[in-house]
Amino acid sequence: MLEGKQFCVVDSRHAGTKPPRPSGVQMHKRIILAVTATISLLFTSLGVTGSQAATAELTYEEFASSANYKEMSRAMEDFFGEMQSKKYMNMVATVNSDMGASEIARFTESTATAGANFKYYSSEMNLLSPYDAEGITTVKDYGYVDRLYFGTIETYAVNSYSMPKSTLARLGKPKAKYFTTKNARIMPYLKQFDTASIISSASKYMSAWTIPSQGMDDPKTRYSEVIKTPNTLNAFNSDYTFDLKIPSQASAGSFTDVHSVVTIGSEGTTYSVKVTAESPYFSLGVLKTSINSVINIAQNPVVAPNLKSAVDLQLLADMSTKINNETILATLAKSISDQAKSMAKKTKKKLAPALLVQATKQYWAKKNWGSNPNLKYTVINGGSKLTFKYLKVKSNVCMTLAKSAVKIKAC
């Protein structure tokens, strides 16, 4: 990183990292299983099996032309239109994927919108990550209330390049749980940060059966008729039940079986989808995915958490960048220090501040870093100071001599 002619910047707001990859047979096995998890997450809804529909033997045209399907589709469109117009919604969706007794992936998403205000939470656990034997869990928890964006520090940490452990302490708020900002432009790592995008994303949970393996476009996919029955818990609500058989992309000659139950409330403000899917995956076994989502149009206020000790997001991002770039400068200073020690040994001279300065100048010339206006060094009492400026964030590391030993620290 530091041996080339370009100085590498660590920007905690824009870059991304991955843990070191395992190798050999272990890596190959994890990649296969991770692909399994990816395929499983294509089935987007939660699972409790309802009453079984008729045999899936209809073409899509026959399926879509039935009276019950048309009625269900109209109810879906009316429900989605109501969400868009009023911008009020509460949704909880979960996705579970298993192969036999082994968990593959777990995902939970909950959202609430009220006018322009919203709260969003998601937790995704991939137990078969090819990069981590223990699996990776990613949590996003953020929102917007009365012109103020907020989110958990954990949300920032998992979506930025790296947040050093000392960041909050350096800001004087070691126990802070949340960040805040009024500037949406510094939140590019959050995919959804307005009510319109959150409500639009809910549409995928309203028609989860259309997602598996992109099988809706396969002419060999077959559908059952849509059966309409009163809901067993509330006879005023209607259940629409149907099955799909989709040619499997993972095992030739096999099919993915999808069972769907859509429940629509009689009052037009509740909607739920339950989907279970089973798909053979080569010789590894049968992949089972269950998805459950419940959406309510309820005009409830969205309330922000206690943000009294929250950290300003810009300060959080800037301090993370500052500390990460200090780490790089410290590595650079160590290389210069080693060169100064080597020079002292060759010339049989005592290591002195002047030698540190001389080594700094030679190293700068060797790497051609003088051409970078944001990277510079200055002579200070006892040695050299290295400085790098990125946007408005300046990082400094001082390299001084104390009792014949080189001391390197942020300054």
Tens-digit pLDDT profile for residues 339-370: 999 999 998 888 999 999 999 999 999 988 88
- Amino acid symbol at 165: K
Under a CB-based contact definition with an 8 Å cutoff, are residues 123 and 111 in contact? no
As a whole number of angstroms, the distance between CA 38 and CA 321 comes to 32
As a whole number of angstroms, the distance between CA 336 and CA 394 comes to 20
* Three-class SS state of 88: strand
Tell me, rounded to whole angstroms, the distance of Cα 345 from its chain centroid. Answer: 51
- Of 49-58, 163-172, 195-204, the poorest mean pLDDT is in 49-58
Instruction: Give pLDDT, residue 403.
Output: 81
Q: What is the dihedral of CA 267, 239, 75, 70, to 10 degrees?
A: -150
184 phi/psi in degrees, rounded to 5: -65, -20
As a whole number of angstroms, the distance between CA 325 and CA 318 comes to 11
In which band, very low, low, confident or very high, does the pLDDT at 281 lie, cut at 50, 70 and 90?
Answer: confident
Does residue 127 carry a pLDDT above 80? no
As a whole number of angstroms, the distance between CA 189 and CA 377 comes to 33
Residue reference for tokens 């996003």: 140
In which band, very low, low, confident or very high, does the pLDDT at 53 lie, cut at 50, 70 and 90?
Answer: low
Instruction: Give pLDDT, residue 27.
Output: 31
Average pLDDT score over residue span 370-389? 94
As a whole number of angstroms, the distance between CA 316 and CA 186 comes to 11
In which band, very low, low, confident or very high, does the pLDDT at 189 lie, cut at 50, 70 and 90?
Answer: low
In which band, very low, low, confident or very high, does the pLDDT at 100 lie, cut at 50, 70 and 90?
Answer: confident
Q: Is 382 left (phi over 0), alpha (psi -120 to 50) or beta?
A: left
Instruction: Give pLDDT, residue 383.
Output: 94
Closest alpha carbon to 171 in 306, 324, 323 = 323
Average pLDDT score over residue span 106-112? 94
Does residue 396 carry a pLDDT above 90? yes
Instruction: Give pLDDT, residue 30.
Output: 35
Instruction: Give pLDDT, residue 50.
Output: 43
Does residue 236 carry a pLDDT above 80? yes
As a whole number of angstroms, the distance between CA 406 and CA 408 comes to 7
In which band, very low, low, confident or very high, does the pLDDT at 54 lie, cut at 50, 70 and 90?
Answer: low
Average pLDDT score over residue span 205-212? 79
As a whole number of angstroms, the distance between CA 105 and CA 288 comes to 11
Give the number of other CB atoms < 10 A from CB of residue 340. Answer: 27
What b-and-e string marks burial along 122-132, b requiring 16 or more CB atoms within 10 Å of the CB? bebbbbbbbeb
Q: What is the DSSP letter of 225?
A: P
The string of pLDDT tens digits covering residues 309-335 is 999 999 999 999 999 999 999 999 999
Write down the H helix ranges in 3-51. Answer: 24-40
